[in-house]
Structure 1
Amino acid sequence: MVSKKALRILEYLTRVNPAKLQLYFRDREVANNSVVSGPIAIRLDGVNFGKVLKDFRKPRDVRVHDALINAGKVLMERFNALITYVASDEINLILNDVPYGGRVFKLVSVSASIASAHTSLSLGMPLYFDSRVVKLQGIGEAITYLIYRSRVCSNNYISQLFHNLTEGKRVTPPAKEMLAVIMECGRLDKVSDWEVLGSCVCWGQRTKCGVNPITGEKELVVRRKLVVRDNVAECISYLTRLRG
């Protein structure tokens, strides 16, 4: 069942204007022959996933989601990203320090190759991603970008559930109305948070016992580790703490 926290986020997202944010962030996309500095978002979208994955569970399949999370982890380590947000068929990375000298063609080609290779291996079939770079004006705008992408992905999910209820009628009311209908009909009772709001991959810490290379004595050491949380709010909270 969708948690109360997730429902509050969903209700908030229905009040966000996605069309306005789409126009804004489309203007922030960087041409492939450019050089960019951080912070940036790298967005990877699955190419033709709806057709290629037609035999998987709709509208979300945990196997696909887990495959994208695994690919996102590899990307996060390779690019030293701040966070990764995975929802629907897309992977979003937020970077402050940009590798490859900021060369956009390198960022998009390498990220798309990594995502395609690891997702294909996980699911046992050839799958492809396209990639784009979005220039962000600070961590605050990175938070707005995540709200925008979660609004789009959650709306797609809610819309599919709504149209399943209405037997394919193509009249699409506002998101707030669709959410109210599917909640009233109990369509979120057996849904997990990640299905509607995606998952966040961020950096955590783990403590382990190591050996001091100088003294040879055992001591506690702290290492970074990747942590997965089934809620976009975790990504937003993480970035908010970084912003201070």
Structure 2
Amino acid sequence: MKEYEIYNNLKVPKGSKLILRLDGRNFHSLSKNLDFKKPYDENFIKSMVNTSQDIFKEFSPLFIYTFSDEINILLSEIPFSGRIEKLNSVFPSLASSSLTVNLNKYFKPTDSIVISFDSRIIPIADKDDIVKYFKWRQDESWRNCVNSYGYWVLRKDYSPKVATQKLKNLKSSDIHQLLFEKGINLNNVPIHQKRGIAIYKQKEKILGLNPIKNREETSYRNNLIIDKNITIFNKEFFKNIDII
């Protein structure tokens, strides 16, 4: 029966880095069931960061970037011999189970929590593609921020249907003006709401005494960084954290 597993041998291209993007499925219902604060629930954000850390501990990627219900994972060492069906099943299942556990730390457990992620694979050909990809996702994080604040300001006066329709007819500059009139300046909201959160390892220099040689020596250890104050992504950012 092994021959019936027709997708079992599909693999990602050898020698290339890889990005896995995990997207939450039907998280609007999750938000409603757990009564998330709007437009951003910090406990949900913590849960997504904790889930990203669990993925980091399990697979040691180069870099993870998360915002909203999305987790982007940059891999240089590809697990499961690059088998697509394994990558697209194990990563989202790990994220789903981890997020369930983490949400239960902050929210009242409920039988209505059913969490799933979908997964897609993006092969990366060169260093410039890493910068372009994550800049693209960070731009989406900013659009999400603008629209989220705009929608929940409109919801104070309109039904969900009317608020959604009005938001569709507004340009970004119009939403900024609307928010400003309501006393909200997006320049002042937390940076992680606008730009997302990056997770990566950074070397720390340690000076210590070598008791055998009886002299001070330098060593290094990798610390896991949860960066909630990231700059706008560019080549310099990724060079500074040794990703490219």
Which amino acid in 1 is paired with 2:22?
L
Q: What's the offset of the Cα at 1:184?
A: 5.2
Aligned to 1:33: 10
Q: Is the 8 A contact 2:19 2:75 kept in 1?
A: yes
* Percent identity (aligned): 26
* 3-state secondary structure, aligned to 1:33: coil
Greater CA radius of gyration, 1 or 2? 2
Report the Cα distance in structure 2 between the residues aligned to 1:169 and 1:73, rounded to whole angstroms.
34
Does residue 199 in structure 1 map to residue 187 in structure 2? no
Structure 1, residues 161-193: CA drift from partner, whole Å, max 9, x if none? 223334415132233442344245432376211
Report the Cα distance in structure 2 between the residues aligned to 1:179 and 1:240, rounded to whole angstroms.
33
Aligned to 1:90: 70
Q: What's the offset of the Cα at 1:123?
A: 0.7
How many residues of Structure 1 are paired with residues of Structure 2 in the alignment?
Answer: 214
Q: Is the 8 A contact 1:85 1:235 kept in 2?
A: no
Gaps of 5+ in 1: 1-31
Aligned to 2:183: 186
2:132 to 144, 156, 174: 144
Aligned to 1:128: 116
Note the aligned Cα RMSD (angstroms): 3.0
Q: What's the offset of the Cα at 1:48?
A: 1.2
Residue range with higher mean Cα deviation, 90-99 or 207-216: 207-216
Summarize the alignment of residues 90-109 of structure 1 with structure 2, pairs less than 5 Å apart.
90-109=70-89
Q: What's the offset of the Cα at 1:230?
A: 1.5
Q: What's the offset of the Cα at 1:212?
A: 6.4
Does residue 65 in structure 1 map to residue 65 in structure 2? no
Which amino acid in 1 is paired with 2:127?
I
Which amino acid in 2 is paired with 1:48?
N
Task: Summarize the Cα distance change of 1:113–1:186 in structure 2 as closer, same or farther, 3 Å threshold.
Answer: same
Task: Summarize the Cα distance change of 1:43–1:216 in structure 2 as closer, same or farther, 3 Å threshold.
Answer: farther
Greater RCO, CA 8 A, separation 6+: 1
2:27 to 49, 53, 75: 49
Summarize the alignment of residues 231-242 of structure 1 with structure 2, pairs less than 5 Å apart.
231-233=229-231, 236=234, 237-241=236-240, 242=242
Q: Is the 8 A contact 1:41 1:93 kept in 2?
A: yes
Q: Is the 8 A contact 1:83 1:235 kept in 2?
A: no
Q: Which runs of 4+ in 1 moved over 6 A?
A: 209-218
